[in-house]
Amino acid sequence: MTPHDLVLTPRGMRFWGSTFPCAIGRGGLTSDKHEGDGATPRGMHRIVGCLYRPDRIAAPCAWAKPIRPGDIWSDDPADPHYNLLTRAPRRFSHETLRRADPLYDLVLITDWNWPRAAPGKGSAIFLHRWRKPGHPTEGCIALRPDHLAAIAGRLRPGAALIIRG
């Protein structure tokens, strides 16, 4: 572990000597992740991407990619593009990335079950904005918007996300 790594602790997300409050999946932590279980997977994951809404915020880092109208993330194990960024329209179940609410204005993408996804092992473990303090996610990790932006601004692609517990 280095200060450059993100470490989920019982007190929050540790990064660069600070601990930021965060929320995890409604299903708690798991070592046996499945699509739809609402759990956050334990293990060491890597940060492999950063997406942002250019109509709402400035790019948080040089490696961030804009979320375009029609960008979606497939969460359907039957989809050949399961657990990948793809484009609408698609007949498969998916998450719309360009949402009306600000939840996905800034998204850090982990390598959970990516890029060659095993069907049913769970899709899209993101770090994104929280709805409100302590409000659980569908398996992602959520942070206060200013904390998420501060982390994204200092984070490097490939940084470790360590989830124990």
> In order along the chain (165 residues), what is the average pLDDT of each group of 10 residues?
89 96 98 96 97 98 98 95 95 96 98 93 96 96 98 96 92
- CA 85 from centre of chain: 12
For the whole prediction, is pTM greater than 0.85? Answer: yes
d(CA 154, CA 31): 29
d(CA 133, CA 144): 8
| DSSP bridge partners of 14 | 7, 19
At residue 4, the pLDDT reads 86
Query: Taking the domains of the chain in order of start, what are their residue ranges?
Result: 23-39+46-157
Q: What angle do CA 132, 102, 116 make, to 5 degrees?
A: 100
